Structures are given as C-alpha cells and as structure tokens.
Amino acid sequence: MSVDPIVVRKKGRPFFGISHYKGTVKLLPYNASEKSTDLDAQGLPRQYDCRILVLVYNRAQSLLRLLESLNKAEYFGDNVKLEVWIDRSDSGYIDEATYEIAVGFRFLHGKYQVMCHENHVGIYGQWLSTWQPSVNSSEIAVFLEDDLTVSPFFYRYLKLVHKKYDKHPEVNGYALQGVSILHGYTKTPEMLKGPEDRKVFLYPVLGTWGFSPKKASWMRFLEWFSAINMDMNFQPYVPQNVATDWYRSFQREGLAGGMWSIWHIYFAWKNNEYTLYSNFEGHLGLTANWKEAGLHYKTKGGQPSNSLLTEWRPEYDSQPTFPKHFNILGQQKD
C-alpha cells in the first residue's frame, strides 16, 4: 500500500517549517486512525501520568540513544506513555532507518507508540500539534528532540516541580537543560547562572532542550498562536532579546520555519510568564544536548552540552515555595 505525498499549505503565514531531508527514504503509508485508537472506556482520549513526546526526523542513531536513556529512567510504576513522532520530508517521505529504529524499540515502562505525520510538518508542527491536552487533563507532558539524552531522574524532577509550581500563574513550564545562555544583549554570549543557594530559579525564556509545559499556559499559547499566525503583518519581535536577532536573521535567509520558539518567547514576554530552570551543582542537567547536525547545527556533535544528574540527594525534594526571579540579563529581580 502507498500514499500520495501531501504537503499542507495554510492561508497566511506558513505554519510548517522547512525541509532538511537528506536520508535513505521509504514511502510509508499513514494510518489516519492511529491518533484516535488510544481511547478509554468512555471513548475519550486516554490520559496518562506522563506523556513523553519524542520528536524526530532523520537521525536514527540519535533517536536510539535517547530512547535507551528513557528506558534507564525511573517512573515509580506510574502510567506512562512514550510517543515517537516522525516527520516526513516535504515530498512525503519517511527516513527508513529512523522508522525501523522506532518500531523496533521496546519501551520497558509503559505504553509505546510510533506516530508518522501524514505530511511534512517541520519543527513548528512537531512542537505545536503533537500535544493538545483536554481541559480536564492532569498528565505531565515533556517534549524531547531526538539529539538529547535524559537523566534517570528527569521524571522524578518533573513530578516534583509540577506539583509544587503548577499553581503559580506566572510559571509556564519547566526546562530540563543544565546549561543555557543569557538572552539579553551582551558583548559575548554568557552562561545563564542561577542563585548559589537554590536548586531552581525562574527565567523569562523557555529552554527547548527538554521542555515540560504547564498545561494551562500551553493551551493559552496554542490558542493565541493559532489566531495570531493568520496575521501576516505581525512579527514576534521581543525588545532587547537576542532570540529576536536570530529570528530576523533566519527571516532574511528564508529559514524562519526553523525557529518556533520565538513565538513562545513573545507570548511569555507579553504575559509576564517565566520558565522554571533547574540549578544543580556544576550545571548538571536533567537532559544533555549532543548538538547533532540538523536545523540548528551544521556539523555532527561529539560531546554532550553538559553532564547529566546521576544522583538524587534528599535535599532536592525540598524546593523553595517562591523561586527567585531573574531577568533576561541574568540579574536577580527579588
């Protein structure tokens, strides 16, 4: 069975990203009912304690490395679902090696499903169309691009911070990365540093190397983006934010489809929202990025961005009720 390749084009500003396909190809059929088969006894989408969304295109070995690290994590017997979302090329093809790695993998801790997009959706579609929770959902979702690996304690951390900080209206989600740069204007890129006496802090720009949205904020963001995306005259420029300069540069090069995060950055800025970052010793992360060649890096990575957290200490279970705020320049606000 085969299907004709389909490329979706939306009125107004293009929603989906550019193609960067360079792999062995196989035209694969798409089961249109695949997304709706995971239903509960009432015929409603099944809910989980944790839904892990792995986003991949054509990096088979990177995908395998991430999946293996997910199998080594602890989940406490919770109801977990791991979804691997595979994008197509803009002509409708799936990378064969990536597909075979995905379908051949066995997840040891819960339900596992491989989802092939019906058409090319790019990085925008991967992030903005794969998790759309219901109003009553209480599940924790986490987005992981394929060039990451996770700490064995990433879910333990997410359970802790969601429970403690989801009630804070200014918090929009949780970054898992151990390192990040400042997004304000500086002469040279500087590392974002949190307070020495706290293991978490708030920062006004999300981290995409493993991001777990707060459901309420994510739903508002998706609704806002769906509306504002139709306005061809609107630009998500944030003053004094280097990400805006990156986005302008991508626009000049015709590559703006590779930077969905600028829209979230703008939304957070307009609504005075913050992302919670971890602040473990030595910039240990709940994720590490291997900086593989793709949309954002030109050459194949060889070393991870940071070391992973491999020991959970009792003091990590006690986080401050009111985390310290840092502005875009990395300066403490309170």
Query: What pLDDT does residue 36 have?
Result: 43
Outline where 241-326 has alpha helix (H).
242-253, 261-270
Closest CA to 306 of 328, 285, 324, 331: 285
C-alpha–C-alpha distance, residues 263 and 228, integer Å:
10
Judged against a pLDDT cut of 90, whether residue 10 lies above it is answered with no
C-alpha–C-alpha distance, residues 273 and 194, integer Å:
17
Q: What is the mean pLDDT of residues 287-310?
A: 77
Q: What is the mean pLDDT of residues 219-229?
A: 96
C-alpha–C-alpha distance, residues 209 and 287, integer Å:
7
Judged against a pLDDT cut of 90, whether residue 302 lies above it is answered with no
Who has greater pLDDT, 10 or 279? 279
Judged against a pLDDT cut of 60, whether residue 284 lies above it is answered with yes
Q: How do beta strands 171-175 and 274-278 pair? A: parallel
Query: What pLDDT does residue 123 have?
Result: 95
Judged against a pLDDT cut of 80, whether residue 231 lies above it is answered with yes
C-alpha–C-alpha distance, residues 256 and 92, integer Å:
21
Q: Which single residue is written with the structure tokens 């951390």? A: 157
Who has greater pLDDT, 302 or 327? 327
Query: What pLDDT does residue 26 have?
Result: 40
Measured at the alpha carbon of residue 76, what is the angle toward residues 70 and 79, in degrees to the nearest 5?
80
- Assign residue 25 a region (left: φ > 0; alpha: ψ between -120 and 50; beta: otherwise): beta
Q: How confident is the model at residue 188 (pLDDT cuts 50, 70, 90)?
A: confident
Q: Any idea what DSSP says for residue 143?
A: E
The correct answer on CATH 3.90.1150.10 for the domain covering 30-317 is no
Judged against a pLDDT cut of 70, whether residue 204 lies above it is answered with yes
Orientation angle between helical segments 261-270 and 215-228, nearest 10 degrees: 110
Who has greater pLDDT, 86 or 196? 86
* Contact criterion met (CB below 8 Å) for 194 and 323: no
Buried residues in 128-149 as b, exposed as e (16+ CB within 10 A): bebbebeeebebbbbbbbbbbb
What average pLDDT does the chain have? Answer: 87
In this structure, of 33-37, 193-197, 262-266, 299-303, the range with the lowest mean pLDDT score is 33-37
Residue 317 three-state SS: helix
